Amino acid sequence: MGRLKKFIQNIRDKLIFIYLCIKLKWLHRIHKQAIVFISTPTHGNLGDQAIVYSQYLFFKSMGLEKQIVEIHRYCYERWKEKFSQVINSNDLIVIDGGGNMGSLWPDEEKKMQDIALRFIDNRVFVFPQTASYTEDEKGKEEIARSKEAYESNKYFFVFARDKVTMDILKDKMPRIRCMYTPDMVMFIDQAQRCQKRDGVILCLREDTERTLTLEQREKIQKILEESDMRVIKGTTVISNAVWKFNRKKFLFRKWNEFSSVKLVITDRLHGMVFAAITGTPCIALDNVSHKVYGAYQWLSYLPYLHFCSNIDEMEKIAKDFLNLSTQKYDLTPLLPYYNEMRNIVKNAMDNVEPYTNGN
Protein backbone atom coordinates (compact mmCIF):
# COMPACT_ATOMS: atom_id res chain seq x y z
CA MET A 1 0.00 0.00 0.00
CA GLY A 2 2.90 2.31 0.81
CA ARG A 3 4.45 1.78 -2.62
CA LEU A 4 1.11 2.44 -4.35
CA LYS A 5 0.63 5.65 -2.39
CA LYS A 6 4.12 6.81 -3.29
CA PHE A 7 3.50 5.98 -6.96
CA ILE A 8 0.25 7.98 -7.01
CA GLN A 9 1.92 10.88 -5.23
CA ASN A 10 4.74 10.85 -7.77
CA ILE A 11 2.26 10.98 -10.68
CA ARG A 12 0.39 13.84 -8.99
CA ASP A 13 3.60 15.82 -8.44
CA LYS A 14 4.66 15.39 -12.07
CA LEU A 15 1.24 16.58 -13.26
CA ILE A 16 1.55 19.68 -11.06
CA PHE A 17 5.01 20.36 -12.48
CA ILE A 18 3.75 20.00 -16.07
CA TYR A 19 0.77 22.28 -15.32
CA LEU A 20 3.07 24.99 -13.89
CA CYS A 21 5.38 24.82 -16.90
CA ILE A 22 2.42 25.15 -19.27
CA LYS A 23 1.06 28.09 -17.28
CA LEU A 24 4.44 29.85 -17.35
CA LYS A 25 4.69 29.44 -21.13
CA TRP A 26 1.12 30.70 -21.55
CA LEU A 27 1.83 33.79 -19.42
CA HIS A 28 4.99 34.48 -21.40
CA ARG A 29 2.99 34.38 -24.61
CA ILE A 30 -0.01 36.42 -23.39
CA HIS A 31 1.51 38.83 -20.85
CA LYS A 32 5.22 38.53 -21.72
CA GLN A 33 5.92 38.28 -18.00
CA ALA A 34 5.02 36.13 -14.99
CA ILE A 35 4.97 36.85 -11.27
CA VAL A 36 6.41 33.76 -9.60
CA PHE A 37 5.58 33.05 -5.96
CA ILE A 38 8.49 30.70 -5.41
CA SER A 39 8.87 27.93 -2.83
CA THR A 40 5.71 28.81 -0.89
CA PRO A 41 4.98 26.87 2.32
CA THR A 42 2.65 23.89 2.57
CA HIS A 43 3.01 23.48 6.32
CA GLY A 44 0.32 24.42 8.80
CA ASN A 45 1.79 27.67 10.13
CA LEU A 46 -1.18 29.91 9.32
CA GLY A 47 0.90 33.05 9.79
CA ASP A 48 3.05 31.99 6.85
CA GLN A 49 -0.04 30.99 4.88
CA ALA A 50 -1.69 34.36 5.58
CA ILE A 51 1.41 36.07 4.17
CA VAL A 52 1.03 34.23 0.86
CA TYR A 53 -2.72 34.96 0.83
CA SER A 54 -2.06 38.66 1.43
CA GLN A 55 0.50 38.71 -1.40
CA TYR A 56 -2.28 37.58 -3.75
CA LEU A 57 -4.44 40.45 -2.48
CA PHE A 58 -1.54 42.87 -2.96
CA PHE A 59 -1.01 41.95 -6.61
CA LYS A 60 -4.77 41.83 -7.15
CA SER A 61 -4.91 45.45 -5.98
CA MET A 62 -2.51 46.19 -8.86
CA GLY A 63 -4.63 44.26 -11.36
CA LEU A 64 -1.89 41.64 -11.78
CA GLU A 65 -3.39 38.57 -10.10
CA LYS A 66 -3.76 36.72 -13.42
CA GLN A 67 0.01 36.80 -13.94
CA ILE A 68 0.81 34.88 -10.75
CA VAL A 69 2.28 31.38 -10.77
CA GLU A 70 2.68 29.75 -7.36
CA ILE A 71 5.33 27.05 -6.97
CA HIS A 72 5.09 25.37 -3.58
CA ARG A 73 8.15 24.38 -1.57
CA TYR A 74 8.23 20.66 -2.32
CA CYS A 75 7.68 21.17 -6.04
CA TYR A 76 10.42 23.80 -6.21
CA GLU A 77 12.96 21.69 -4.31
CA ARG A 78 12.30 18.71 -6.54
CA TRP A 79 12.50 20.52 -9.88
CA LYS A 80 14.48 23.69 -9.18
CA GLU A 81 16.92 22.98 -12.00
CA LYS A 82 14.11 22.67 -14.54
CA PHE A 83 12.24 25.69 -13.18
CA SER A 84 15.37 27.79 -13.65
CA GLN A 85 15.13 26.91 -17.36
CA VAL A 86 11.43 27.75 -17.85
CA ILE A 87 11.33 30.93 -15.76
CA ASN A 88 12.37 33.86 -17.98
CA SER A 89 14.86 36.51 -16.89
CA ASN A 90 12.18 39.23 -17.02
CA ASP A 91 9.81 37.31 -14.71
CA LEU A 92 9.37 38.75 -11.24
CA ILE A 93 10.41 36.39 -8.44
CA VAL A 94 8.61 36.79 -5.09
CA ILE A 95 9.97 35.15 -1.93
CA ASP A 96 7.20 35.15 0.65
CA GLY A 97 7.65 37.32 3.72
CA GLY A 98 8.12 36.14 7.30
CA GLY A 99 10.87 35.71 9.84
CA ASN A 100 13.09 33.54 7.69
CA MET A 101 16.20 35.62 7.09
CA GLY A 102 19.17 34.87 9.34
CA SER A 103 20.57 32.09 11.47
CA LEU A 104 17.39 31.27 13.40
CA TRP A 105 15.89 29.13 10.62
CA PRO A 106 18.94 27.98 8.56
CA ASP A 107 17.00 25.94 5.99
CA GLU A 108 14.90 28.96 5.07
CA GLU A 109 17.99 31.16 4.84
CA LYS A 110 19.72 28.66 2.54
CA LYS A 111 16.61 28.57 0.36
CA MET A 112 16.68 32.35 -0.04
CA GLN A 113 20.38 32.35 -0.85
CA ASP A 114 19.83 29.66 -3.48
CA ILE A 115 17.04 31.63 -5.14
CA ALA A 116 19.11 34.84 -5.20
CA LEU A 117 21.96 33.05 -6.98
CA ARG A 118 19.92 30.72 -9.17
CA PHE A 119 17.86 33.60 -10.59
CA ILE A 120 20.69 36.12 -10.66
CA ASP A 121 19.29 37.97 -13.71
CA ASN A 122 15.76 38.27 -12.28
CA ARG A 123 14.14 40.92 -10.16
CA VAL A 124 13.89 39.06 -6.85
CA PHE A 125 11.68 40.59 -4.17
CA VAL A 126 11.71 39.37 -0.59
CA PHE A 127 8.37 40.46 0.83
CA PRO A 128 8.27 41.96 4.35
CA GLN A 129 10.86 40.07 6.31
CA THR A 130 12.55 39.88 9.70
CA ALA A 131 16.28 39.16 9.82
CA SER A 132 17.72 37.61 12.98
CA TYR A 133 21.39 36.67 13.26
CA THR A 134 22.93 35.39 16.50
CA GLU A 135 25.81 37.34 18.00
CA ASP A 136 28.16 34.36 17.99
CA GLU A 137 30.57 33.02 15.37
CA LYS A 138 27.78 31.06 13.69
CA GLY A 139 25.77 34.24 13.21
CA LYS A 140 28.76 36.10 11.74
CA GLU A 141 29.39 33.28 9.27
CA GLU A 142 25.73 33.30 8.19
CA ILE A 143 25.81 37.07 7.66
CA ALA A 144 28.86 36.64 5.43
CA ARG A 145 27.09 33.96 3.36
CA SER A 146 23.92 36.06 3.12
CA LYS A 147 25.87 39.13 2.05
CA GLU A 148 27.73 37.23 -0.67
CA ALA A 149 24.57 35.62 -2.08
CA TYR A 150 22.22 38.60 -1.91
CA GLU A 151 24.68 41.21 -3.12
CA SER A 152 25.59 38.98 -6.07
CA ASN A 153 22.13 39.66 -7.49
CA LYS A 154 22.04 43.36 -8.35
CA TYR A 155 18.22 43.21 -8.58
CA PHE A 156 17.71 41.66 -5.13
CA PHE A 157 15.27 43.71 -3.02
CA VAL A 158 14.21 43.19 0.60
CA PHE A 159 11.14 44.73 2.21
CA ALA A 160 12.09 44.89 5.90
CA ARG A 161 9.17 44.74 8.32
CA ASP A 162 11.06 46.06 11.35
CA LYS A 163 13.76 48.62 12.09
CA VAL A 164 16.23 46.04 13.43
CA THR A 165 16.17 44.28 10.05
CA MET A 166 16.67 47.58 8.22
CA ASP A 167 19.68 48.33 10.42
CA ILE A 168 21.17 44.89 9.73
CA LEU A 169 20.77 45.31 5.99
CA LYS A 170 22.20 48.82 5.93
CA ASP A 171 25.14 47.93 8.16
CA LYS A 172 26.03 44.40 7.04
CA MET A 173 24.77 44.28 3.44
CA PRO A 174 24.84 47.89 2.21
CA ARG A 175 24.53 47.01 -1.49
CA ILE A 176 21.12 45.39 -1.02
CA ARG A 177 18.15 47.51 -1.97
CA CYS A 178 15.62 47.68 0.84
CA MET A 179 12.62 49.51 2.22
CA TYR A 180 10.88 49.64 5.61
CA THR A 181 7.34 48.26 5.24
CA PRO A 182 4.59 46.63 7.35
CA ASP A 183 4.07 42.88 7.51
CA MET A 184 1.94 41.77 4.57
CA VAL A 185 -0.84 40.27 6.71
CA MET A 186 -1.66 43.79 7.93
CA PHE A 187 -2.83 44.44 4.35
CA ILE A 188 -5.83 42.12 4.89
CA ASP A 189 -8.95 44.11 5.76
CA GLN A 190 -11.75 41.59 5.32
CA ALA A 191 -10.99 39.14 8.13
CA GLN A 192 -13.31 40.58 10.78
CA ARG A 193 -16.50 38.68 11.62
CA CYS A 194 -19.42 40.17 13.55
CA GLN A 195 -20.44 37.66 16.21
CA LYS A 196 -20.93 37.35 19.94
CA ARG A 197 -17.62 37.27 21.81
CA ASP A 198 -16.77 35.20 24.87
CA GLY A 199 -13.58 34.00 26.54
CA VAL A 200 -9.84 34.50 26.07
CA ILE A 201 -7.45 32.85 23.64
CA LEU A 202 -4.01 32.12 25.10
CA CYS A 203 -1.77 31.68 22.06
CA LEU A 204 1.85 31.03 23.08
CA ARG A 205 4.83 29.66 21.15
CA GLU A 206 6.15 26.16 21.71
CA ASP A 207 9.25 26.38 19.49
CA THR A 208 12.77 27.86 19.57
CA GLU A 209 11.46 31.44 19.36
CA ARG A 210 9.72 31.36 22.75
CA THR A 211 11.14 33.34 25.68
CA LEU A 212 8.50 32.73 28.37
CA THR A 213 9.53 30.33 31.11
CA LEU A 214 7.19 27.62 32.40
CA GLU A 215 6.71 29.66 35.57
CA GLN A 216 5.69 32.74 33.55
CA ARG A 217 3.25 30.74 31.45
CA GLU A 218 1.65 29.31 34.60
CA LYS A 219 1.37 32.82 36.04
CA ILE A 220 -0.48 34.04 32.94
CA GLN A 221 -2.81 31.05 33.15
CA LYS A 222 -3.53 31.78 36.81
CA ILE A 223 -4.29 35.44 36.15
CA LEU A 224 -6.82 34.48 33.49
CA GLU A 225 -8.46 31.79 35.60
CA GLU A 226 -8.91 34.26 38.46
CA SER A 227 -10.80 36.57 36.11
CA ASP A 228 -13.46 33.84 35.72
CA MET A 229 -13.04 33.97 31.95
CA ARG A 230 -13.20 30.91 29.74
CA VAL A 231 -9.60 30.27 28.64
CA ILE A 232 -8.96 28.65 25.28
CA LYS A 233 -5.53 27.33 24.40
CA GLY A 234 -5.04 28.71 20.93
CA THR A 235 -2.48 28.36 18.18
CA THR A 236 -1.79 29.73 14.73
CA VAL A 237 -0.32 26.38 13.67
CA ILE A 238 -2.45 23.47 12.48
CA SER A 239 -1.50 19.87 11.68
CA ASN A 240 -3.01 19.92 8.17
CA ALA A 241 -0.99 20.46 5.02
CA VAL A 242 -2.10 23.74 3.44
CA TRP A 243 -2.22 24.20 -0.32
CA LYS A 244 -3.36 26.96 -2.61
CA PHE A 245 -6.84 25.43 -3.00
CA ASN A 246 -7.60 25.15 0.76
CA ARG A 247 -5.56 28.07 2.16
CA LYS A 248 -8.47 30.51 2.38
CA LYS A 249 -10.70 27.97 4.14
CA PHE A 250 -8.20 27.35 6.93
CA LEU A 251 -7.40 31.04 7.34
CA PHE A 252 -11.01 32.17 7.65
CA ARG A 253 -11.72 29.34 10.05
CA LYS A 254 -8.92 30.66 12.29
CA TRP A 255 -10.04 34.28 11.91
CA ASN A 256 -13.57 33.25 12.93
CA GLU A 257 -12.06 31.69 16.05
CA PHE A 258 -10.22 34.93 16.92
CA SER A 259 -13.38 36.94 16.22
CA SER A 260 -15.31 34.87 18.76
CA VAL A 261 -13.31 35.89 21.87
CA LYS A 262 -12.99 39.05 23.95
CA LEU A 263 -9.21 38.94 24.32
CA VAL A 264 -6.09 37.35 22.84
CA ILE A 265 -2.82 37.02 24.75
CA THR A 266 0.05 35.96 22.54
CA ASP A 267 3.79 35.96 21.91
CA ARG A 268 3.30 35.07 18.24
CA LEU A 269 3.65 37.87 15.72
CA HIS A 270 0.73 36.67 13.64
CA GLY A 271 -1.26 35.85 16.75
CA MET A 272 -1.17 39.61 17.38
CA VAL A 273 -1.77 40.49 13.72
CA PHE A 274 -4.73 38.07 13.48
CA ALA A 275 -6.18 39.79 16.55
CA ALA A 276 -5.61 43.17 14.92
CA ILE A 277 -7.30 42.39 11.59
CA THR A 278 -10.28 40.74 13.34
CA GLY A 279 -10.76 43.71 15.70
CA THR A 280 -9.97 41.55 18.74
CA PRO A 281 -8.35 43.15 21.82
CA CYS A 282 -4.86 41.74 22.26
CA ILE A 283 -2.01 41.77 24.75
CA ALA A 284 1.26 41.00 22.96
CA LEU A 285 4.45 39.64 24.51
CA ASP A 286 7.78 39.50 22.70
CA ASN A 287 9.70 36.48 21.42
CA VAL A 288 13.40 35.69 21.00
CA SER A 289 13.82 37.56 17.69
CA HIS A 290 11.87 40.61 18.96
CA LYS A 291 9.74 40.55 15.82
CA VAL A 292 6.50 40.86 17.81
CA TYR A 293 7.60 44.26 19.08
CA GLY A 294 8.70 45.20 15.57
CA ALA A 295 5.21 44.41 14.26
CA TYR A 296 3.57 46.19 17.19
CA GLN A 297 5.36 49.40 16.23
CA TRP A 298 3.31 49.39 13.02
CA LEU A 299 0.02 48.70 14.82
CA SER A 300 0.46 50.72 18.02
CA TYR A 301 -2.15 53.23 16.75
CA LEU A 302 -4.87 50.61 17.33
CA PRO A 303 -6.43 51.23 20.78
CA TYR A 304 -7.22 47.57 21.32
CA LEU A 305 -3.62 46.33 21.10
CA HIS A 306 -1.09 46.58 23.93
CA PHE A 307 2.51 45.42 24.08
CA CYS A 308 3.63 44.20 27.50
CA SER A 309 7.36 44.20 28.22
CA ASN A 310 6.69 42.21 31.39
CA ILE A 311 3.92 40.02 32.78
CA ASP A 312 3.34 42.12 35.89
CA GLU A 313 1.54 44.86 33.92
CA MET A 314 -0.59 42.35 32.06
CA GLU A 315 -3.26 41.81 34.73
CA LYS A 316 -4.55 45.39 34.72
CA ILE A 317 -4.48 45.67 30.94
CA ALA A 318 -6.40 42.39 30.62
CA LYS A 319 -9.18 43.66 32.88
CA ASP A 320 -9.44 46.91 30.90
CA PHE A 321 -9.47 45.15 27.55
CA LEU A 322 -12.18 42.69 28.59
CA ASN A 323 -14.50 45.69 28.95
CA LEU A 324 -13.78 47.20 25.54
CA SER A 325 -16.67 47.74 23.15
CA THR A 326 -16.66 46.38 19.59
CA GLN A 327 -13.50 47.32 17.70
CA LYS A 328 -12.80 47.61 13.97
CA TYR A 329 -9.52 47.24 12.11
CA ASP A 330 -8.37 50.31 10.19
CA LEU A 331 -5.29 50.01 7.98
CA THR A 332 -5.43 53.60 6.69
CA PRO A 333 -2.16 54.66 8.41
CA LEU A 334 -0.34 51.80 6.65
CA LEU A 335 -1.62 52.46 3.13
CA PRO A 336 1.14 54.94 2.14
CA TYR A 337 3.72 52.19 2.71
CA TYR A 338 1.80 49.63 0.68
CA ASN A 339 1.33 52.24 -2.07
CA GLU A 340 5.09 52.78 -2.15
CA MET A 341 5.56 49.01 -2.36
CA ARG A 342 3.25 49.00 -5.38
CA ASN A 343 5.30 51.73 -7.06
CA ILE A 344 8.58 49.88 -6.49
CA VAL A 345 7.22 46.56 -7.76
CA LYS A 346 5.57 48.21 -10.78
CA ASN A 347 8.81 50.00 -11.70
CA ALA A 348 10.67 46.70 -11.44
CA MET A 349 8.18 44.99 -13.73
CA ASP A 350 8.46 47.86 -16.21
CA ASN A 351 12.27 47.70 -15.93
CA VAL A 352 12.44 51.28 -14.67
CA GLU A 353 15.65 52.14 -12.82
CA PRO A 354 16.09 52.79 -10.02
CA TYR A 355 13.11 50.97 -8.57
CA THR A 356 13.79 52.03 -5.00
CA ASN A 357 13.15 55.00 -2.77
CA GLY A 358 16.70 54.68 -1.44
CA ASN A 359 18.04 53.29 1.81
CATH class label, 200-330: alpha beta
pLDDT grade for 358, boundaries at 50, 70 and 90:
very low
Give me the mean pLDDT over the 254-263 stretch. 94
Indicate the domain borders of the chain.
Answer: 2-183+335-349, 200-330
Give me the mean pLDDT over the 153-168 stretch. 94
pLDDT grade for 237, boundaries at 50, 70 and 90:
very high
21-30, 291-300, 313-322: which range is least confident on average? 313-322
Give me the mean pLDDT over the 133-156 stretch. 92
Task: Check if 2-183+335-349 and 200-330 are the same fold.
Answer: yes
DSSP string, 194-229: -----SEEEE---STT----HHHHHHHHHHHHHTTP
The answer, yes or no, to whether residue 219 has pLDDT greater than 90, is: no
Buried b / exposed e along 328-340 (16+ C-beta atoms within 10 A): ebebeebeebbeb
Give me the mean pLDDT over the 238-267 stretch. 94
State residue 289's pLDDT score: 63
Give me the mean pLDDT over the 98-108 stretch. 88
Between CA 258 and CA 279 the distance in angstroms is 9
Q: For the domain 2-183+335-349, what is the CATH code?
A: 3.40.50
Give me the mean pLDDT over the 18-37 stretch. 96
| 104-126 per-position pLDDT tens digit | 888 999 999 999 999 999 999 99
pTM of the model: 0.93
